[in-house]
Amino acid sequence: MMKQTMTRLSGERAERVEPSNLPSFEAPLRPKRQQVARACDSCRMHRIKCDNNVPCKGENCINKSPGERRTLPQAYREIDRLKQKVKELEEKLERQRNESSLVYTCARPQSFALTPPGSDSAQTPDSIGVSHNIVGKNQTIWGGVMTSTGQSPQKTWYGPSSLFYFVSRMNTYLSAIFKQLHPDDLIQLKSVAKTFATPDCNPTEDDEKTDTKDVNQTVSNEAYLTPTQEEYFLNLFWQSYHPTLVILDEAEFKRHYRSLATKPGQPRKPSPLVDIVIAVSMQVGMAVAQRNSPRVLSATEVGSDDPSIAGRIYYRRCQRLLYNEQEAPTLMTVQCHILSAVYTCCAAFQNMSHVALSLAARSAHMLGLHNKPPSDLPVATQELHRRVWWTLYAFESKVCMKFGRPFYTNADSTSCDLPAHDHRAASLAGSDFALLDENTTWLTYAFYNVELLLAARKVHTAFYERYSDFYSGNIGQVIYDDPPALGRYAEYLTTVMKPLDEWGESVPNSLKTRREGDGRYLSTDRSPIVMEQFVPPWLQRQRLLLESLYHVLKLNLYRPFICFPSTATESSSLGKTCLSHATSAAEHSIALTRIFHHVVTNTDLLVGWHEAFQWQWNAALTLAGYLFACPTSEIAPTVRESIDLSIAVFEDFGRSFGTSLGAATVMRDLAIKIDFLADILRGNNSTATLPIEPAAQSAQEPATDRCSTAADVIPSTNNIPFSQDLFSGSMNMAFSVDNSGDLDMLWPPIGNTADQWWIHTEPPGSNGLGYIFPG
């Protein structure tokens, strides 16, 4: 039988004792350890016993939370309490998310959302892509793009209705097709805004100088015009801008101008209103002078002598004087801000123009112009207030729709009636223009211009506010990733276009430009217009600008449905309505181009009219994008012909200011790419060539008439010969901004070095058609 033993420890020795040898008396029971509910921090750290007294027997009795209970049941109860608290907080947070529409979450870190990130990353096809934002729980907002449009590399945000958004989509598509980075700079105008930070023409290296930053610096009297010269430009204003921008009372302005006179031979007193009127007039007047000058402008460099910034010293003095009126604005303050927006817009300083409009809107609100004019004011003053407010409303609406940005003005909070345009109102307006007929006057244009922009803004708002109703964000990043949703969205646009159609039917005959034969007004039937003889230029210009603006607004609304080829659109064809809208955008662009081509080749009505040039630039890029997206459509030949007409229009405008010559060069470049891709698509591989600049040929290779082959133009990264199959493969791989994806996955070997880009040169006599391509 196994013997039981027990071990007794004493110090470091252990001896084995038999049970029989144990003492006979019973050992005392070990006392039960008292459980301590709270131990001091020192005892817990040294893992020693702690009594229930404070201070305890430990050497350093420190207890930072003496009231905290640490028994196991209490811990379980605390855990349950915290779980319940977390559950309540999660439910409360979920309710707030459902109720609030102000919490934005960027759906794609690489893309640009409605609230743009502060970082300024490198400009690549992926970084200029399009994204959507999450608003609330299941609502999405159509995002925009960040791009640099001025002299500074700082990027600014433009919405989906803007031309910059469309250009970014087209550039990314071209980058994918040609396997070359196609940055936005290749399709941007070389304007003074790209050369100078402000219309003051201060170079970048002069920004650190104190004298260029001092707003109180003065200009010598010799730099300003003489009274006779000022009168010339003021008279030009009354015949050019005044009939289309009815914010001044001519008679009142002339009284104000006479009050500024000092001693004979001395300069007049400064006035912000007079200064900005002269500055705006000089933009037109100097363009006319440049057109008649033997000096030829340059398309590659737009300097301080460009007519688009003529009169900048008057503009600068106006802004300095307006600074002192911010706290106590007047009606003249609002008028000056509106004209400042016109000046900066024509000089291509788009963001400065937008800022000037915001100042005008806020100043108008301070003066209560959005309300019904007080009855104690004279009738002429009441009508002037109405004209100023609604002209500002229309102008601001036009610019915000053009940029895709939120509106400042709001018609819902406006109690101001539309301005009158009858004979009595015209007689009180301070100008002496001929009466048109029983119901129309020179003020009628302003009325229908406001009506047109009210209708366009109504359609624009209804269209873009319903984006989340058709695209949920579950497929891809934007609506172009979901062709069925895009088709439903296109059908919805058709249902909200009625206000624009009704406006077209309401225009009086006196404001309509006639057509040859059976051509209809505001139509896209391509019928030639008829410029009536013995009609005053101001009326012809009113008719022309009213119809041109209609086509611009229409093509901007239809343009989002020009979809570039991609894997999504090829696997699931677009609906008929979507394709019809894309065709409508091209048709309105064709109509605008044909009208302008007829006008610039037969009249001088648009000489120096910078906004007309910007409309033509908008239409020309829309035509180019349509041909890239739909190269085999039925109207493709007509669209291609219209691109040539737009180049002719730009060349005519280029006789007045150099920016237009740069636009002609860009359109020639795009036309070459369009023809090149069209030849490949038709299977004419042998003729799908582009000219190579002779200077690019190797020094060892003799100059010949041989053009580069298609394989030279689109270098293969995988040593695959170029063919129609390769083009089809490129089409399948093309990820434009219409679709989510990373361009880096397409052609990883492509670098960002300058020698891998298309290098454009303009040798003498080449007409801007010379290219150097990477070998």
Element housing 9 (H / E)? strand 6-10
What is the pLDDT at residue 41? 67
Please compute Rg for the chain using Cα positions. 37
What is the pLDDT at residue 573? 65
**Encoded amino acid at 441, one letter:** T
User: Residue 146: pLDDT above 70?
Assistant: yes
**Greatest mean pLDDT range, 358-367, 567-576, 695-704:** 358-367
**Encoded amino acid at 71, one letter:** T
Tokens of 191: 């304007």
What is the pLDDT at residue 135? 46
Residue-wise pLDDT tens digits, 501-558: 999 999 999 999 999 888 899 989 999 999 888 899 999 999 999 999 999 999 999 9
Mean pLDDT of 265-287: 92
Spatial CB neighbours of 116, under 8 Å, sequence gap ≥ 6 = 146, 155, 157
Q: Which residue in the block uniquely carries the two structure tokens 């041909």?
A: 627
What is the pLDDT at residue 707? 31
**Greatest mean pLDDT range, 92-106, 117-131, 603-617, 756-770:** 603-617
Query: Where is pLDDT greater, at 585 or 722?
Result: 585
* 433 strand-pairing partners: none
Mean pLDDT of 670-682: 87
174 pLDDT band (50/70/90 cuts)? confident
170 vs 625: CA distance, rounded Å:
6
Q: Which residue in the block uniquely carries the two structure tokens 């007079």?
A: 274
* Nearest Cα residue to 189 out of 511, 653, 743, 570: 653
* Nearest Cα residue to 486 out of 354, 422, 567, 576: 576
What is the pLDDT at residue 455? 96
What is the pLDDT at residue 59? 58
Listed by start position, the domains of the chain span 42-86, 104-188, 535-682, 685-696+709-732+754-775
Element housing 125 (H / E)? none
Residue-wise pLDDT tens digits, 4-16: 444 444 444 444 4
720 pLDDT band (50/70/90 cuts)? very low
Question: Per the omega criterion (within 30 degrees of 0), is the bond before 55 cis?
Answer: yes
User: Residue 397: pLDDT above 80?
Assistant: yes
What is the pLDDT at residue 28? 57
Segment among 153-157, 319-323, 683-687 with least mean pLDDT: 683-687
* Nearest Cα residue to 588 out of 610, 630, 618: 618
Query: Where is pLDDT greater, at 51 or 699?
Result: 51
Mean pLDDT of 26-39: 59
What is the pLDDT at residue 389? 96
What is the pLDDT at residue 159? 93
Residue-wise pLDDT tens digits, 292-303: 777 666 655 666
Instruction: Please say whether the beta carbons of 707 and 690 come within 8 A.
Output: yes
Element housing 312 (H / E)? helix 312-322
* Nearest Cα residue to 730 out of 222, 106, 174: 174
* Nearest Cα residue to 642 out of 688, 579, 596, 584: 596
What is the pLDDT at residue 112? 28
**Greatest mean pLDDT range, 305-314, 487-496, 684-693:** 487-496
User: Residue 500: pLDDT above 80?
Assistant: yes
What is the pLDDT at residue 299? 56
What is the pLDDT at residue 566? 67
What is the pLDDT at residue 111? 31
681 pLDDT band (50/70/90 cuts)? confident
Segment among 275-284, 416-425, 486-495, 707-716 with least mean pLDDT: 707-716
- Collapsed DSSP state (helix, strand, coil) of residue 13: strand
Distances (CA, A) of 628 to 2, 168, 181, 689: 99, 14, 17, 17
Residue-wise pLDDT tens digits, 446-474: 999 999 999 999 999 999 999 988 988 88
User: What whole-number percentage of the chain has pLDDT above 90?
Assistant: 43
180 vs 178: CA distance, rounded Å:
5
Query: Where is pLDDT greater, at 703 or 602?
Result: 602
On the CB side of 381, CA atoms within 13 Å amount to: 8
**Helix, strand, coil distribution of the chain in percent, nearest 5:** 50, 5, 45
* 158 strand-pairing partners: 145
Mean pLDDT of the chain: 76
DSSP string, 79-119: HHHHHHHHHHHHHHHHHHHHH-S--EEES-TTSB-SS--S-
User: Residue 214: pLDDT above 80?
Assistant: no
Spatial CB neighbours of 261, under 8 Å, sequence gap ≥ 6 = 227, 268, 269
